[in-house]
Amino acid sequence: MHGNMLRLVLIISAIVLQFSTCSVLIEKIDEERVENQCNLSEDLVNEIRGYKNVVSKITDHILNGKFKGEVHKSLQIFTDKFGSRMAGSDALEKAIDYMEDLLKNEGLENVHTESAKVPHWIRGYESATLVQPRKAKIELLGLGTTVGTPRGGIIGEVVAVRTFDELQKLPDSEVKGKIVVFAPTWQGYGATVRYRSSGASEASKKGAIAALIRSATPFSIASPHTGSQNYAQGVKKIPTACITVEDAEMIWRLYNEGENVQIRLEMEDYNLEPVISRNTVSELQGTTSPNKSVVILSGHLDSWDVGVGAMDDGGGAFISWKAVKFLKDMGLRPKRTIRSVLWTAEEYGYYGAKEYAKQHKENELEEFNFFIESDTGTFDPVGLDFTGNKDAECIFKEVLSLMAPLNATQFATPADGGPDISVWLDRGFPGASLLNKNERYFWFHHTDGDTMLVEDPDSLDRCVALFASTAYIIADLSVDIPKDVKN
């Protein structure tokens, strides 16, 4: 009994530690709790609760009717046809052409694309080999926008550290001319990914000739995870790549055991001039003022050049436009327009969303009512997380309480799974992103493992039903969702 109790305490402590690294407030929403916390008018509360039958209709049609399994089937056709879709590639642009034609054929309204300038980076031949104290192949994936090595590669002695603080404490003379290997412990994606984003710059400041970073994942089967990185202004650009958790840990151990660790690195990656890509737009136009108080449903269409981008973010993109299609097919046309936007070049830093914001800046207060995005997987949905002022939160919680038929009434704040819509949410627009059982998301994230095998048809159906129900209610309410927008 004592041993079991000890294990239970350790498990609970680990869970508390995991969630203590973020400031997200999570709660399950029900009607009574919303009523106790908020001061919404009785008329508005009754109006929102009057949509219960609509939610039931949407849920039944998607989970049990003719729409069942349609999202998975369409996503499978798409990913099989185009595979990975990296920004700047012909594959992405052909996929956008395909989606524009498909959305028109599906009968959606105002289908068009809007241009955005995006980075164009090419992954060339990449190879890494441990040459001292023994010879072994090191699996790696160059990070987006990395420069390559000189022709023929480089060989460098290794300095291995866990943290940026450890690196800063080393004299520059101990780092200059060497390859820095970062082996941070997993502390959640937000805390760990900064080594991927900034590792090359921090190593370069100390005189390193390259930087190799432990993949940002809690679980590994010797698969490297790619992703974006950013060179700080004024630093020398050095080659940088992610390596597997297993190799990073092995190199760190060898280094700390006093071994002379050397790696041969060859990378033929390079950057070209930016090119023009496109955001893909379709709508279910509202019955009144189609271009005012629009509700946005979104996901990004680009992916990395490994896997096929089924999970990141094909699923998110497809539940967004399918929600619009299903509502149209069910004859559910709200007062306000529901607009699906399939963003481009999210992986490099929200290039499509940022350009869309610039193009719509002049009338944004009048045009946009609410934003929704999915970009942390489309596993079983449990609710939605939210960013907005207190009045908006009260209305949103009342809407979310209606999602009981989907077992998706969980509320969290702030919104954490909508990187593209953060362009608006960070300035005071209200919005939400999908909460789902995505404990395995970072197992496959930015790897060759991001394939259709990760996607489940029933989970996708529940996700699209949640998006369709939420978007319809918000778009049909007698009031706009309140906002406090900063320029």
Beta sheet of 262-267, edge-to-edge order: 136-138, 126-132, 262-267, 154-161, 179-182, 210-214, 240-243, 140-142
In the annotation, is 70 catalytic?
Answer: no
Q: 146: left (phi > 0), else alpha (psi -120 to 50), else beta?
A: beta
């290997």: which residue's tokens? Answer: 181
CB 63 within 8 A of CB 461: yes
136: its two tokens: 């072994």
Tell me the C-alpha distance between 162 and 170, whole Å.
12
b/e burial code for range 323-362 (CB count within 10 A of at least 16 → b): bbbbbbebebbbebbbbbbbbbbbbbbbbbbebbbeeeee
The DSSP bridge partners found for residue 25 are 413
Compute the Cα dihedral for 215, 81, 460, 457 and give only its sign: negative
CB 261 within 8 A of CB 291: no
Contact 85, 309 (CB under 8 A): yes
DSSP one-letter string for 412-471: EES--S-TTTHHHHTTT--EEEEEE--TTHHHHTTSTT-SGGG--HHHHHHHHHHHHHHH
- Catalytic residue selected from 126, 346, 355, 398: 346
- Which ranges of 213-266 does DSSP label H, i.e. alpha helix? 245-256
Q: Report d(CA 228, CA 224) in Å as an integer.
A: 13
Q: Which residue has the tokens 């071994």?
A: 259
* Active-site annotation, residues: 346
